[in-house]
Structure 1
């Protein structure tokens, strides 16, 4: 019996797609006959007691600390063989690579994982390899950002070097906005560097896939929707088919980049823009995409077990790759106007539908909703599967037309004068 360790593998109720992803992986690993060891922080394991009954063992390990993970793994192996290690969170992928290297197991080289996790290093490497990239620079002061704008023009995007979930990402059009952007993205110019890059015009997509036998395989191309005026993702649809077979060009560019970077293992999520020059690669992730993309990809491929396929590849077993997707799925997020939630309509009528992959609303009357600055500021999810991506799009948009999260200015004595729909 093989033993697989999942670093950062517990997720409590309310953790959304992360909980569903972790449970799917654990169950698919167990169904293939493996022992599964789940590690996470003490708080996460305490908040998710069902993992203790599903997993063969649970251990308290900080998945954000690669050195601690390696120390624990080496000690654990003295008592029990370990055949594979994996993890699905953005902040666990470095620890996964370090543990795999320390134990001599299948995995990506740690230096490559650190490179793709550091946005400027990945931009530079992709550019050196000949892939289209926006102009970019590391900046630590307002003057640095102003110099970038003087050289490349605006608009530009200012972002942290290694954050996730659109946190701290700011668009600027003029030098006058540089100071505020630096404060948001870098928490002040004296605390570190931020990445400044050209704003790329064009619709955004991502490629979801898996490595098998050391080679990347694209499972679907996903269209991304942004909340107006933000970089926060408001929805996704997969698989998309574009005029002129541009979706195939996007998938090919993503897999070509993964090969060129030297990555060989895991589930991947590669972001890009489609421009008049062709695909321009964005961020590269050696973990599943968030926002229910793992469930949407499995829906699109009815015979696919995404994490079961990962399990087989990590253990050196043949992976049966699916053909083209045969169904479609769409997800939308509820992003109301900021303020005090004064009423919610239409939600109860939405739940219980057989075509729902997931529906969740985290806001209630009396809550205060802030501006949409990151994915954590969204207050609801509707994910739906259908016979095609177009049908899923139509169905989820129809459902959300009847869902209204009404807000009014926080602290207002009269809440009825300024109400907004989600």
Structure 2
């Protein structure tokens, strides 16, 4: 009797070289191994070299640049023609999602339509599609220069947000209250080729984390967010599940599920950002990947036994999934610490925080002598504390208490 060969996973985009990115991929590959998957991982050549621990977890690794349109699909076709079989195509990096979709399409495997992924990754196209389907959206305009922005400002009511068409982690995003603040906002953009200006949405921010099962979206939990005051959008707290009335949670889930259907998405994980306003849900950015900010670890505490990445593999492999068990029963919270800018002299109380038994993950990315920059995007995160508890209220209280017990001593940095 011939033994069946193991199912094979093409993992497009590998991991970035940041600690969070490596942890996400290590977790995903661990859940793939539990299901007997053989893994062929692709990534850009330099990043493959920078993440040897991840490469070592795969059965094979190849240098393929996921940022070159069509390159991953062409590579996958070539491997298939040479006799290599793949059963699943998956990836976790934001910038690799179009390559994931193109490779799956090229191999005739489950995946999102490439045009649908391109739409949600191009923020103005996603906004237009949602608005056309009747979802609440802020008015926006794609601009090429300052004159076009000023024209939009003159025709709409502020405040406004200036941001890139295609970026992540609040990179280059600024709120402005008038034309006098425009120059600084444009300077903060990573690129000036084309960008978006849109009306600022007033209301608390949330996100919905989930997975597609049988092509249908299943919301695992709603996450609440706290941000530093404008002009930037630095997130300093997540709480899962969000502490909101049941009817609010249900309406958020209803809107998210409907929007994902309208956008033509059907595969993998999702992370959908939104606001709760006086008019109800206003949808923000849609991502066909897991959430960042260590939410993958927080969800695993909130839903005991959850394997978020493993659910994607189970869905393709036809393994049974008990959706009734995919409900939050505990709470988790994370605080991103924001010490005053300047040269760091000392950090007090960190060892005690790191030793606390409720800590899911903590990270201190600075040491005495480093210069702490103003907190403007996720790239400026210098420390974080994630905790788990029996309820989200308890988790939030504990995370804030632990944050208060850490003291950063800084001095003015030389110019």
Assess same fold via TM > 0.5.
yes
Q: 2:243 touches 2:393 (CA, 8 Å); kept in 1?
A: no
Residue 127 of structure 2 aligns with which residue? 123
Q: 1:186 touches 1:194 (CA, 8 Å); kept in 2?
A: no
Which one of 132, 136, 150 corresponds to residue 132 of structure 1?
136
Which one of 375, 391, 399 corresponds to residue 388 of structure 1?
391
Unaligned runs of 5+ in 2: 1-5
Residue 11 of structure 2 aligns with which residue? 6
Q: Deviations over 1:254-284 (max 9, x none)?
A: 1111012111001000000000100100000
Residue 58 of structure 2 aligns with which residue? 55
Q: Distance in 2 between matches of 1:312 and 1:22?
A: 17
Residue 410 of structure 1 aligns with which residue? 413
Q: Distance in 1 between matches of 2:270 and 2:162?
A: 24
Residue 216 of structure 2 aligns with which residue? 215
Residue 420 of structure 1 aligns with which residue? none
* Deviation (angstroms), 1:56: 1.3
Q: Distance in 1 between matches of 2:15 and 2:186?
A: 34
Q: Distance in 2 between matches of 1:363 and 1:381?
A: 11
Could you say what secondary structure the match of 1:54 adopts? Answer: coil
Runs of 4+ deviating beyond 4 Å: none
What are the residue-to-residue correspondences of 1:219-298 with 2, within 5 Å?
Answer: 219-229=220-230, 230-243=232-245, 245-298=247-300
Q: Distance in 1 between matches of 2:326 and 2:57?
A: 31
Q: Deviations over 1:163-201 (max 9, x none)?
A: 11101001111112223322322644xxx2111111000
Q: Deviations over 1:305-347 (max 9, x none)?
A: 1111111123344433234210111111122222111111111
Which region of structure 1 is more displaced relative to structure 2, 311-320 or 397-406?
Answer: 311-320
Residue 309 of structure 1 aligns with which residue? 311
Which region of structure 1 is more displaced relative to structure 2, 104-113 or 78-87?
Answer: 78-87
Could you say what secondary structure the match of 2:189 adopts? Answer: helix
Taking structure 1 as the reference length, what is the TM-score of the superposition? Answer: 0.93
Q: 2:164 touches 2:191 (CA, 8 Å); kept in 1?
A: no
Q: Distance in 2 between matches of 1:330 and 1:375?
A: 17
What are the residue-to-residue correspondences of 1:66-81 with 2, within 5 Å?
Answer: 66-77=69-80, 78-81=82-85
Cα distance change of structure 1 residues 141 and 45 upon mapping to structure 2, 3 Å threshold: closer
* Deviation (angstroms), 1:11: 4.6
Q: Distance in 1 between matches of 2:358 and 2:60?
A: 35
* Deviation (angstroms), 1:361: 0.4
Q: Distance in 1 between matches of 2:64 and 2:326?
A: 38
Q: 1:341 touches 1:408 (CA, 8 Å); kept in 2?
A: yes
1:94 aligns with 2:98: yes
Q: Distance in 2 between matches of 1:316 and 1:209?
A: 18
Residue 345 of structure 1 aligns with which residue? 348
Cα distance change of structure 1 residues 52 and 161 upon mapping to structure 2, 3 Å threshold: closer
* Deviation (angstroms), 1:202: 0.2
Q: Distance in 2 between matches of 1:93 and 1:323?
A: 25
Residue 65 of structure 1 aligns with which residue? 68
RMSD: 1.5
Residue 205 of structure 1 aligns with which residue? 206
Q: Distance in 1 between matches of 2:141 and 2:57?
A: 46
Residue 398 of structure 1 aligns with which residue? 401
* Deviation (angstroms), 1:54: 2.2
Could you say what secondary structure the match of 2:266 adopts? Answer: coil
Could you say what secondary structure the match of 1:206 adopts? Answer: strand
* Deviation (angstroms), 1:70: 1.6
Residue 168 of structure 1 aligns with which residue? 172
Taking structure 2 as the reference length, what is the TM-score of the superposition? Answer: 0.95
Q: 1:37 touches 1:58 (CA, 8 Å); kept in 2?
A: yes
